[in-house]
Amino acid sequence: MSRSATATIHLNALRDNLARARKLAGSAKVMAVVKADAYGHGLERCARAFGDADAFGVASIADGLRLRAAGHRNRIVVLSGPDAASDLAEMRRLQLEAVIHHPSQLAMLEAERAGTPLKVWLKLDTGMHRLGFPVRQAPALHARLRAMPAVDPAIVLMTHFVSSEAFDDTTTEQQIARFEQATRDLPGERSLSNSAGLLGWPAARGDWVRVGGLLYGLSVADGRTGADFGFAPAMTLATHLVAVNRIARGEHIGYGATWECPEDMDVGVAAIGYGDGYPRSARSGTPVLVGDAPAAVIGRVSMDLVTVDLRRAPDASVGDVVTLWGPRLTVEVIAQHANTISYELTCGVTRRVLFAEDGV
């Protein structure tokens, strides 16, 4: 193969992470959020690893179709619900559940007069101001939905936190209070917490927790890694050196000549770039591993190649493995150097990277 970049997905880490999330959730059910192709890890393989999750959370009906085609019978919740009236029949056919967050979706459901009642999750806006109904409307909306013949009366009530990763911020406390006040007299299960909510807000466990990043070992808090919370990284992104060049002191490396060699030194060239999903914004000094030795990106990341300072890897040679992130070099560290978040990096791995699995 002409490209050597590989993303290895650690199946045992995925399973262990789900088990840890379930332990933290206590009596609450666990929804494994597998949107964005399971945060870049591969929808079908991750769904196999999360096979005993109480439900899957997806962003689209198409993801639900993929899961059903792969044989999964778990509950599947489409987190943004139907986009058009025609979606309702497909959701019923696939036995998908819908998050209802907008008046246009209510109108779609009210127009339905036949068919198996759809299971719905009523989303209330407690402060995120993205999707959801105003909390003051909760009683009327709940009654309206339960009166619809097209809707299963066992409605789940839900909201979404703004900054639950800030464990000392009062915003989440305020959101919890708004939600509890709005739903106090309504029947049905509750779902408030995402990954960060699961970690930092025991009062918000409710009946369901919706766990995304933590299942992949990804951080949900600034300055912390998933491993800091006991969750194992589930992806290793690696490639190989395709060249080792001796470059003289004072010479510049890469596009724009942004990095100058401080001495005569070996510079490695690794077969990965932003065309593979490695961030172009990764600045000089971003760590990598060459074999077991520490090294660092120098110069600009290009489409297909990255240049690496080999002064701390003096025995490096062509063909050596270069690890961009993984259990020994967490993706959160790379994200910090690239001024982004770990979620964006794993979601951004492109189709030309070869995916592999380890574990059973």
Can you tell me the distance from the alpha carbon of 331 to that of 80, in angstroms, rounded to the nearest whole number? 28
Torsional sign, CA 303, 277, 319, 306: positive
Q: How many residues does the chain have?
A: 360
Six-digit token string for 342: 């770990």
Known catalytic residues? 35, 255
199 CB contacts (<8 Å, ≥6 apart)?
24, 167, 214, 220, 221, 229
Neighbours of 290 (CB within 10 A): 25
Can you tell me the distance from the alpha carbon of 194 to that of 122, in angstroms, rounded to the nearest whole number? 16
Using DSSP's 3-state secondary structure scheme, residue 214 falls into helix
DSSP codes of every residue in 214-227 = GGGT---STT--GG
Can you tell me the distance from the alpha carbon of 311 to that of 324, in angstroms, rounded to the nearest whole number? 17
Beta-bridged to residue 124, according to DSSP, are 133
DSSP alpha helix (H) spans, the chain: 11-25, 35-39, 43-49, 61-69, 86-94, 103-111, 138-146, 170-183, 195-200, 331-337, 342-347
Can you tell me the distance from the alpha carbon of 315 to that of 332, in angstroms, rounded to the nearest whole number? 28
Rg (CA), the chain: 23
